Amino acid sequence: MPTEKASPQLKKQLGIFGATMMGLGSIVGTGVFVSIGIAAGIAGPAVILAVMIAALVATCNGLSSAQLAANHPVSGGTYEYGYKYLNPWLGFSAGWMFLLAKSASAATAALGFSAYLLSALGYPQTYLIPLALAAVVVFTVIVLSGISRSNVANIAIVSVTLLTLLFFVVVGLPLISKVHLTPFFQSASGSGSPLANLFHASALMFVAYTGYGRIATLGEEVHDPHRTIPRAIIFTLLVTMVLYIAVAVTGVGTVGAAALSGAAHGSQAAPLAVAARLFSLPFAPQILAIGAITAMLGVLLNLILGLSRVLLAMGRQRDMPSIFAHLNAAQTTPIWSVLMMGALIAGLVLIGNIKITWTFSAFTVLIYYALTNLSALRLSAKERLYPAWISVLGLVSCVFLAFWVDRDTWMIGLTLLAAGLVWHGIAQRRER
């Protein structure tokens, strides 16, 4: 049975605006500045359609998350929903996959920030990993200071990012060429069937929307969660969908899918900066670089927040050592959870390859949201805010897209899931 009621609770400090900005800070970052380039290399111009498909799946999942969080507003997100509405094994699986997925996403954000900053300053990419590690350390310290200060930092970061992307779209749209958009269904790498490439790219782009789940994982710290969480998630998704589609059309239409893809592989992570170099304005690449840098930092900040809250919940359930359930004296920060997640993200940064960390994140987060939708299907008629078919569509879409990433990635993901379940079994026996 859940044990969170017997544990000290985090203070409620977020309203609709703060929760929405947390969601935007979690979403608008690595996805729009990096993964569009990776997905363009797989699907070519059809990455624009992949962005739309991912938006549809994210909407279903977002509405499932919203109604679950409104009825069960505690830290932990689908980890807690799985325990309450499914069973401990599936609840643990959700929490475990979230930690794996979003730790990889956080490492991608840190590496993306480092690549954009080094590119803007004209320094060699040999400093990529040390600079990314420094960012992880700084933002771990910020999260340790509590969610109020983290929220202030997030609002400032998100504001700069959104203004920069609006600049990119407004200036870039007139420069779009039909040459870069045809043939529409053609992989930039020239391999794979068009349909398979589209689904693979959709799976990668789905991860770019999943920051809305951060609002649910912070449910314990939100005022009037039954009203605030659904509205904040819906506002966040609407803004993000419009923005992502506009950026994808502008990016592909100005330089082509192949150019975007080439700037997103290996240690390079600045595909939109490549497009900005074609703009007539002399400082366009620098302006975009500033937005990219703030975006990556915003994602990193919000991921450390969300990950630490899931680890807090797992510590309360004794699925992880109980030290991770410890709060500071002001009951605003799970200290050891924050430190642990900062260390794990730093370890993943050492991989140094953005495509690897992002692709792994795609598979694991799709499994996580499949469990979110499954949990939402167990809500009673009184608890349900939206029709059940939305959760059914979200569940089927997540499972379907998860296995369109490359085979090695989902095999590694399933192996790590099995390892986690072994750990869960051992932890449960120790508690008896």
58 falls within a domain:
yes
Most confident of the ranges 120-134, 168-182, 207-221, 370-384:
370-384
Taking each helix axis from N to C end, the angle separating 47-71 and 36-43, rounded to the nearest 10 degrees, works out to 130
8-state DSSP, 9 = P
SS3 labels along the chain: CCCHHHCCCCCCCECHHHHHHHHHHHHCCHHHHHHHHHHHHHHHHHHHHHHHHHHHHHHHHHHHHHHHHHHCCCCCCHHHHHHHHHCHHHHHHHHHHHHHHHHHHHHHHHHHHHHHHHHHHCCCHHHHHHHHHHHHHHHHHHHHCCHHHHHHHHHHHHHHHHHHHHHHHHHHHHHCCHHHHCCCCCCCCCCCCHHHHHHHHHHHHHHCCHHHHHHHHCHHHECCHHHHHHHHHHHHHHHHHHHHHHHHHHHHHHHCHHHHHHCCCCCCCCHHHHHHCCCCCCCHHHHHHHHHHHHHHHHHHHHHHHHHHHHHHHHHCCCCCHHHHCCCCCCCCCHHHHHHHHHHHHHHHCCCCHHHHHHHHHHHHHHHHHHHHHHHCCCCCCCCCCCHHHHHHHHHHHHHHHCCCCHHHHHHHHHHHHHHHHHHHHHHHHHC
Number of domain units in the chain: 1
- pLDDT surpasses 90 at 111: no
Buried-state track 290-303, b at ≥16 Cβ within 10 A, e below 16 = bbbbbbbbbbbbbb
- Tell me: the pLDDT tens digits for 291-315? 888 888 888 887 888 888 888 888 8
Q: Which domain holds residue 301?
A: 11-423
Buried-state track 375-393, b at ≥16 Cβ within 10 A, e below 16 = bbbebeeeeebeeeebbbb
Lowest mean pLDDT among 82-86, 173-177, 385-389: 173-177
Q: Which of 257, 258, 261, 249 is nearest to 168 (CA)?
A: 249
pLDDT at 342: 92
CATH number at residue 61: 1.20.1740.10
- pLDDT surpasses 70 at 2: no
429 or 357, which is more confident = 429
Q: By percentage, how much of the chain surpasses pLDDT 70?
A: 84
Please tell me the distance from the alpha carbon of residue 392 to that of residue 60, in angstroms, as a whole number: 9
Q: How far apart are the first and last CA of the chain?
A: 13
AA identity, residue 54: A
AA identity, residue 223: H
- pLDDT surpasses 70 at 9: no
Are the CB atoms for 308 and 143 separated by under 8 Å? yes
CA distances from 1 to 73, 259, 316 (A): 16, 52, 11
14 or 202, which is more confident = 202
Structure tokens at 219: 């449910």
Taking each helix axis from N to C end, the angle separating 128-144 and 335-349, rounded to the nearest 10 degrees, works out to 170
pLDDT at 5: 47
5 falls within a domain:
no
Quickly state the pLDDT bin for 417 (edges 50, 70, 90).
confident
278 falls within a domain:
yes
Cβ neighbours around 5 below 10 Å, total? 9
- Which helix (H) or strand (E) segment holds residue 324: the answer is none
Lowest mean pLDDT among 190-194, 316-320, 414-418, 419-423: 190-194
Please tell me the distance from the alpha carbon of residue 324 to that of residue 315, in angstroms, as a whole number: 5
- Tell me: the pLDDT tens digits for 25-73? 777 766 677 778 788 888 888 888 999 999 899 889 888 988 887 787 7
186 falls within a domain:
yes
Taking the alpha carbons of 407, 412, 417, 422 in that order, is the dihedral positive or negative?
A: positive
Residues in the chain: 432
- pLDDT surpasses 80 at 213: no
181 falls within a domain:
yes
428 falls within a domain:
no
Rg of the chain taking only CA atoms, in angstroms: 20
92 or 431, which is more confident = 92
pLDDT at 238: 87
Please tell me the distance from the alpha carbon of residue 28 to that of residue 33, in angstroms, as a whole number: 8
pLDDT at 353: 67
431 falls within a domain:
no
- pLDDT surpasses 90 at 362: no
